[in-house]
Amino acid sequence: MDFSNESRVLHRCSAQIGNLLLLSLWHLVHSIIRICNFTLDIANVLESYLISSGLLGRYKSLHIAKLRYLAIVIESEEAYQTSKIIELLQWLEAVGVKHVCLYDKEGILKKSKDFILENLDGAILFQDAHENNVLLDQQHMTLEFVSFSDGKEAVAKAANVLFMKYSKSGVTDQNQKEKIFTESQMSEALKTVGSGGPEPDLLLVYGPARCHLGFPAWRIKYTEIVHMGPLKSMNYGSLIKAIYKFTMVRQNYGK
């Protein structure tokens, strides 16, 4: 009996030691990852400084015309930092970006829309500037404000629009296996419910990780998604680098 109690105690101790060892290893690996990321961050900060000061020649000329529509996704907690967002938009304006879509999941940016537009000289709402959501050359920057309700919920509204349209047209008599709607009809329905903006070429994510946070699915089929880090650490050099890399990627298509 003593022997079996002892072996149970021994087993329990070995299990605890094993768990402690695994926990230590796990923390060790995560510490190594933190150190690696910290080192990368320092290198990025140095590079950003060199880019901002114009010392890296290749970043001086951006083929900005290739970036027709830019989306910025911001973690909702950071979306309250409107002064940072205005600064970011001013950098984009200086670089020559004409059309920007701002997204945060909870619609904080939509609530700050008027404040942002007031503080950005000449910026106008995308919906006011374009007919049929077609991108036109504009003198001033256009801004679109989007949230989670413009994604999945908009698709549900568009579904009801399509249902109404086609139940009136008598298409219900068709064989149920045949295709009823095309993707372009779905796009039209999304425009009807106010969620049919253009597809961004590039999507910059300001947050803790590379994650699009529910940006309207219909619009990011072939969008390049780049993680920029938290908004509080944003810098001009990283922004230029991201845009430059995008313009270089576009140039390599077809090679």
Partner 1 sequence: MKFLSKVVQPFIKCMHCVLSVGPMPSHIGFIMDGNRRYATKNKLKQVAGHEAGYSALLSMVTYCYEMGIKYVTAYAFSIMDLMTEKFELLCRKDSFFNGYGIRVHISRNLQLLPQHSRDTANKLMASTVNNSGLLLTICMAYTSTDEINHAVEKCCQEKWVKNDGGIISLADIEKRMYMKIAPDPDIIIRTSGESRLSNFLLWQTAGSYLYSTSALCPEIGIWHLVWAVFNFQRYQLFQKKKNKHLK
Note the residues at the interface with partner 1 (CB under 8 A): 22-23, 25-26, 29-30, 33, 77, 148, 151-153, 155-156, 158-160, 162-163, 166-167, 172, 176, 179-183, 186, 208-214, 217-218, 220-227
Q: Which is nearer to partner 1, 5 or 252 (CB)?
A: 252
| CB-side neighbour CA atoms (13 Å) of 105 | 11
Smallest gap, in angstroms, from Cβ of residue 100 to partner 1? Answer: 19
> Residue 167 or residue 251: which is nearer to partner 1 going by CB?
167
3-state SS, residue 109: helix
Those residues with Cβ within 8 angstroms of residue 136's Cβ, 6 or more apart along the chain or in another chain: 129, 130
Give the nearest distance from C-beta 20 to partner 1 in angstroms. Answer: 10
For partner 1, which is the closer residue by CB, 140 or 210? Answer: 210
* Cβ proximity to partner 1, 47 vs 77, nearer residue: 77
Shortest Å distance, C-beta 78 to partner 1 = 11
**Is there a contact between 70 and 92 (Cβ–Cβ < 8 Å)?**
yes
Q: Nearer to partner 1 by C-beta: 116 or 234?
A: 234
Min dist CB 73 to partner 1, Å, is 11
> Smallest distance, Å, CB 119 to partner 1?
28
Give the Cβ contact number of residue 226 at 10 Å: 16
Distance separating alpha carbons of residues 30 and 175, to the nearest angstrom: 56
- The residue (of 96 and 208) whose beta carbon lies closer to partner 1 is 208
Q: Which residues contact 10 (CB under 8 A, 6 or more apart)?
A: none
How far apart are CB 174 and partner 1 at their closest, in Å?
A: 9
Least separation in angstroms between residue 106's CB and partner 1 is 12
Instruction: Say how far apart CA 79 and CA 90 lie, in whole Å.
Output: 16
Best CA proximity match to 162, nearest among 195, 186, 140? 186
Three-state SS at 7: helix
* Residue with Cβ nearer partner 1 (123 or 213): 213
**What amino acid occupies position 39?**
T
> What pairing do the DSSP bridges indicate for beta strands 124-125 and 99-103?
unpaired
Structure letter (DSSP) for residue 197: P
Q: Could you give the CA distance from residue 222 to residue 182 in angstroms, rounded to a whole number?
A: 19
